[in-house]
Amino acid sequence: MTAADSQTHRVWQVWKNPIFHRYCRSRLRPRALGLASLITGLIAGFIVFMANSGGVRAGLSPSDAARIALLFLLGFQCVILFIFGTAQAAGGMTAERDEGVIDYQRLIPMSPLSKVLGFLFGLPVREYAMFLIILPFAAWALWLGEISWHVWLPLYAIIFTSAVTYHLTGLVTGTVVKNRRWAFLLSIGIVFCLYTIIPQMAKVGLVYFKYLTIWPVIEESLPKLLPRTAGSALETLQNLAPTAKFFGLDFSEAVFTFFSQLGLILTFLVMLCRKWRRSESHLLGKVWATGFYVWIQIQLLGNSLPLVDAGSVFPSKAFNRMMRVRPGWNPDPGEAVAMSGIYGVISLILIFIFASIITPSADSQVRGWRRARKQGVNSLPFFSDAATGFWAVLMMSLAGAAGWFFFTRGLVESRWFPGHVVPLRFFFFNVLVMVAAGVGYQVLLEAKGGRVVGLVTIFVGVVPVMAGAVIVPISERLAPLAVWLFGMSPASLPVFASASLLSLSELPHEVARAVPRAFQFWLFVTTLACLWRIGQLWLSRKEKARSVLDGEVVAERTLGAKD
């Protein structure tokens, strides 16, 4: 690979990318590709002929049998791209870093985005080839099954964008995690969670997260992919359940899934490009992290609030529709309280994640001050990685509090709960909870480092919750003690806030007395700890800046005296 070769293509011309060419030569060698093609073709052929013979035996028409084969072929293609491709992206990136190839690639005169795209499509290139091998079988099933292109084209487009999203997840994992085995397991675990755990959040009002998968498009297209009788019955059932509409806009599931995944794709690309420019850079800058957090809040609200009037946002509505146990359904007030608390917890956890990404370590701060000294300035650029992440996390906390408030108001003041309103003081406590817990976490991380934060998380955030969970089943009389133990964890404050401040809250007598008291006490303690840590952080950063700048001055004077 020469410098001339690396500069003769544009960023979007992936087929001319030297890194992509390298992986095509290494991962598409005849022996390995031939074996993969043979296995893939045998499995695809088995699926087609088995579905055809089984359909004939079951009395299905050839068209309906082909539709069954297509469903299995789609599942096979998704397994290849989503699981095998993501694992290869994560493991391959880690192996390249361990072998020193990444350091060599930094010297190549290519833009960071070109390098990222080269690895993105180069590392899983064999998996893409296996995907293409299945396409003729899928095309035959589409033709024989008489499936319109209006159905299969959006479906395959979302399969591709989902694959890009998960492969970028693998690249980020491989870039951050040092151990190849852990990078492989973590990337597979993320994909597994995306299709098992995260979609469950949609059942408690957080509908946005299911659009990071292909399930919404599958559900929308399934009536046209199933045999005609089953497809018609499923379409009738789907018409009874309203779909999520972003602030009431009539987008198809494919369009909204694309835009939801596009935000994540752009964020991953930014992460990787930052790492390619400077290996010690944070994954995200403060501006992008804050903007992305606000974007997530908008997405959560835009998907959830339009479903409130129909009742589809409540978990019991889906259960009632599935079990058909109550003809006259109404949501339970406890559902709204629990959903409000869960929304606050998820928003707070996202703040913790973004704070961990943008908060500078002690070494990063020292490097930043040394760089400032060399440039002849006495302060750090406001948005630089070495600058404090306090202001960015504060803005995220305010955005999270606003999103939490609007979500809660949309639930409580809906037509399902007439006469109930969300008081303005609830927003005040939302801000206090988010700032005290979110900013408190950030300043502790910036001042003391990840090891101290880990210990505090275990002994303050996890152990009290475990102790409370152990005490609860022992006796009802110990329930207030369990409440006080649960309240020690900052992550439980949003749940306590909703249970204490909302008029819909209906708790047992002893618990109803303990929850507000525990909430007010632990919020007061968390706020005091946050304010104290802010003061300590300010003094720590000031002392660190003075020691670095004064140390440089002393060193210069010493060298001048020797001369």
Residue 307 DSSP label: G
Question: Residue 12: pLDDT above 60?
Answer: yes
Nearest partner of 437 among 539, 355, 337, judged by Cα = 355
Residue 131 DSSP label: H
Encode pLDDT of 234-244 as tens digits: 766 665 555 55
Question: Residue 348: pLDDT above 80?
Answer: yes
Q: What is the pLDDT of residue 557?
A: 44
Cβ atoms of residues 161 and 154 within 8 Å: no
**Buried-state track 173-185, b at ≥16 Cβ within 10 A, e below 16:** bbbbbeebeebbb
Cβ atoms of residues 130 and 37 within 8 Å: yes
Q: What is the pLDDT of residue 242?
A: 52
Nearest partner of 449 among 459, 457, 460, judged by Cα = 457
Question: Residue 3: pLDDT above 50?
Answer: no
Q: What is the largest CA-CA distance in the chain?
A: 98
**Share of residues in the chain with pLDDT > 70 (%):** 90
The DSSP code sequence of 494-555 is: HHHHHHHH-TT----HHHHHHHHHHHHHHHHHHHHHHHHHHHHHHHHHHHHHHHHHHHHHHH
44, 65, 76, 127, 180 from 138: Cα distances, Å? 9, 13, 11, 16, 34
| Band of residue 374 on the pLDDT scale cut at 50, 70, 90 | confident
Q: How many CB atoms lie within 10 A of CB 321?
A: 15
| Band of residue 59 on the pLDDT scale cut at 50, 70, 90 | confident
Radius of gyration of the chain from Cα atoms? Answer: 27
Q: Which tokens hold the place of 121?
A: 């499509």
Residue 129 one-letter amino acid: A
Nearest partner of 338 among 512, 500, 514, 498, judged by Cα = 498
CA–CA separation, 120 and 473 (whole Å): 50
Q: What is the pLDDT of residue 558?
A: 46
Residue 454: enclosing H or E segment and its boundaries?
helix 450-456
Cβ contacts of 448 within 8 Å, gap of 6 or more? none
- 270 or 55: which leads in pLDDT: 270
| Band of residue 527 on the pLDDT scale cut at 50, 70, 90 | very high
265, 310, 426, 534 from 349: Cα distances, Å? 21, 29, 20, 20
Nearest partner of 282 among 211, 167, 367, 408, judged by Cα = 367
- 525 or 204: which leads in pLDDT: 525
**Long-range contacts, 443-447 (Cβ 8 Å, 24+):** 443/390, 443/530, 443/533, 443/534, 443/536, 443/537, 444/533, 445/355, 445/356, 445/359, 446/359, 446/360, 446/388, 446/389, 446/390, 446/537, 446/541, 447/533, 447/536, 447/537, 447/540
Question: Residue 357: pLDDT above 90?
Answer: yes
Interval 375-391 mean pLDDT: 85
Burial environment of residue 237 by CB neighbours within 10 A (0 to 12, 13 to 18, 19 or more) = exposed
Q: What is the pLDDT of residue 142?
A: 93
Cβ atoms of residues 225 and 63 within 8 Å: no
Cβ atoms of residues 407 and 307 within 8 Å: no
Q: How many CB atoms lie within 10 A of CB 215?
A: 17
Q: What is the pLDDT of residue 556?
A: 43
| Band of residue 431 on the pLDDT scale cut at 50, 70, 90 | very high
Cβ contacts of 310 within 8 Å, gap of 6 or more? 242
CA–CA separation, 487 and 522 (whole Å): 6
Q: What is the pLDDT of residue 446?
A: 92
Encode pLDDT of 76-115 as tens digits: 999 999 989 988 888 888 888 777 777 777 778 888 899 9
| Band of residue 246 on the pLDDT scale cut at 50, 70, 90 | low
Question: Residue 325: pLDDT above 90?
Answer: no
Question: Residue 324: pLDDT above 60?
Answer: no
Q: What is the pLDDT of residue 560?
A: 47
Cβ atoms of residues 299 and 205 within 8 Å: no
**Share of residues in the chain with pLDDT > 90 (%):** 43
Question: Residue 4: pLDDT above 70?
Answer: no
The DSSP code sequence of 361-386 is: PHHHHHHHHHHHHHTT-SS--TTSTT
CA–CA separation, 424 and 406 (whole Å): 11
Encode pLDDT of 13-26 as tens digits: 888 888 899 899 99
CA–CA separation, 137 and 142 (whole Å): 9
Cβ contacts of 477 within 8 Å, gap of 6 or more? 510
CA–CA separation, 124 and 503 (whole Å): 54
CA–CA separation, 54 and 441 (whole Å): 59
Burial environment of residue 553 by CB neighbours within 10 A (0 to 12, 13 to 18, 19 or more) = exposed
- 443 or 545: which leads in pLDDT: 443
Burial environment of residue 83 by CB neighbours within 10 A (0 to 12, 13 to 18, 19 or more) = middle
| Band of residue 390 on the pLDDT scale cut at 50, 70, 90 | very high
Encode pLDDT of 480-506 as tens digits: 899 999 999 999 999 999 999 998 888
pTM for this one?
A: 0.87
